[in-house]
Amino acid sequence: MPLLQPLFTGVIDERTLARLFDRSKGVKWGLARASFAEALWRSVTSRFGSSGANVEEIEIYLDSLHLEDLALAAACAEGQVTAWAYFIECFRPALRKAAWAIAGEQDGSDLADGLYAELYGLEERDGRRRSLFHYFHGRSRLSTWLRAILSQRRIDAVRERQRLVPLDDDGGLPASAGMPSAPADPDRAHFAELAHRALASAVANLDARDRLRLASYYLQHLTLAQIGRLVGEHEATVSRKLDRLRRELRRQVEAILRDQFKLSRDQIGACIDCALDDSRVDVAQALHGANPERGPTSSTAPGQGVSPRPEGGAHHRV
């Protein structure tokens, strides 16, 4: 029976799944392609919901995912020993430090331990462990997602503590009421701004035809077939070139952050993480911001003057 039945019937074919699975390197964790397909399907349904999407949009979305992190999470959710050993060795020390930064050493240790329990999955449903890893969909790095979970768990704990602490005799608020949910990262806004500037610069350096492809997809929200008719290419070619452009933009952004802004490797990684989490940093804004006052006309140069993506549309980040 085909691995894609019934998950991706009529959406992607076996060859596409094989290509994505190969990129994920899931074999080294003992992850089956069928399990990887389930993880992809959870990600797709989380992204597009009941509204659905066409095949081209789904394929572009799948190609944009952090597939190696998604495969690692899926293997850990299955309880694969090699995957868990790698996760504990490579992720646990950084997560514990992040938890300490959020909640202090004592509370942070409890916070980290609680997260590990959720990730492993102590609760069973229908005979299967319910691991928190099932809710990782690969849209950001696994490390970024885990830090976000830690912050949210801290917020939940503080709110619960405030709810249970009685008012004092004067009827005032408990002492912890003014306590921030989590300490702000003073570098976060700065890194997000640098990422945005680097992306805008990288987009500006593209040739007109590449800007047209990006603007048609991210701003005008055209399908691959429509873009193909516009530029005289097959939709499969458009898909490949959009994928190439995204990868090239990321390389250019990293080069600008390194060479122009003189950031270290760790700082560049922090900028990319901030870009993934910050809704201000996306391709659509970089394209629109390059020429915000011009509307689409027949005399408009390729890649310029297109109308902004409708408000509420999904952000597409590098």
Helix axes 105-120, 142-164, angle to 10 degrees: 120
Strands (E), the chain: 124-125, 128-129
Neighbour tally for 252: CB within 10 Å: 18
Average pLDDT over residues 177-189: 50
Q: What is the pLDDT of residue 73?
A: 95
Return the C-alpha torsion angle 214, 218, 224, 225, nearest 10: -100
Give the integer Cα–Cα distance in Å for 173 and 190.
34
Q: What is the pLDDT of residue 219?
A: 74
Whether 66 shows a pLDDT value over 50: the answer reads yes
Band of pLDDT at residue 8, cut at 50, 70 and 90: low
Whether 95 shows a pLDDT value over 90: the answer reads no
Band of pLDDT at residue 21, cut at 50, 70 and 90: very high
Q: What is the pLDDT of residue 54?
A: 77
Q: Are 105 and 99 in contact (CB under 8 A)?
A: no
Q: Output phi, psi for 166, to 5 deg.
A: -70, 160
Q: What is the pLDDT of residue 282?
A: 58
Whether 197 shows a pLDDT value over 70: the answer reads yes
Task: Using a pLDDT cut of 90, give the percent of the chain over it.
Answer: 17
Q: Output phi, psi for 312, to 5 deg.
A: 95, -10
Query: Which of 301, 295, 307 shows the shortest CA–CA distance to 220?
Result: 307
Better-predicted residue by pLDDT, 236 or 19:
19
Q: In the structure encoding, which two tokens stand for residue 211, read together?
A: 């800007």
Whether 63 shows a pLDDT value over 60: the answer reads yes
Query: Which of 161, 189, 198 shows the shortest CA–CA distance to 176?
Result: 161
pLDDT digits (tens, 9 = 90+) for 233-247: 887 888 888 888 888
pLDDT digits (tens, 9 = 90+) for 135-152: 999 988 998 888 888 888
Q: What is the pLDDT of residue 212?
A: 85
Better-predicted residue by pLDDT, 257 or 159:
257
Return the C-alpha torsion angle 52, 121, 274, 245, nearest 10: -40
Band of pLDDT at residue 98, cut at 50, 70 and 90: confident
Average pLDDT, the chain: 75
Give the integer Cα–Cα distance in Å for 98 and 185.
11
Interacting residues of 110 by C-beta distance below 8 A, sequence separation 6+: 103
Band of pLDDT at residue 171, cut at 50, 70 and 90: very low
Query: Which of 294, 145, 276 shows the shortest CA–CA distance to 199?
Result: 276
Give the up-direction half-sphere exposure of residue 243: CA atoms within 13 A in the CB hemisphere.
16
Work out whether the CA dihedral 253, 254, 260, 263 comes out positive or negative: positive
Instruction: Convert 7-37 to b/e letters by CB count within 10 Å (16 or more is b).
Output: bbeebbeeebbeebbeebebeebebbbebbb
**What residue spans define the domains of the chain?**
1-166+176-183, 188-289
Give the integer Cα–Cα distance in Å for 271 and 282.
13
Q: Are 138 and 72 in contact (CB under 8 A)?
A: no
Interacting residues of 318 by C-beta distance below 8 A, sequence separation 6+: 199, 202, 246, 249, 250, 253, 275, 283
CA 240 to chain centroid: 20
Average pLDDT over residues 167-172: 44
Give the integer Cα–Cα distance in Å for 100 and 294.
49
Better-predicted residue by pLDDT, 254 or 299:
254
Whether 286 shows a pLDDT value over 70: the answer reads no
Neighbour tally for 196: CB within 10 Å: 21
Whether 180 shows a pLDDT value over 50: the answer reads no
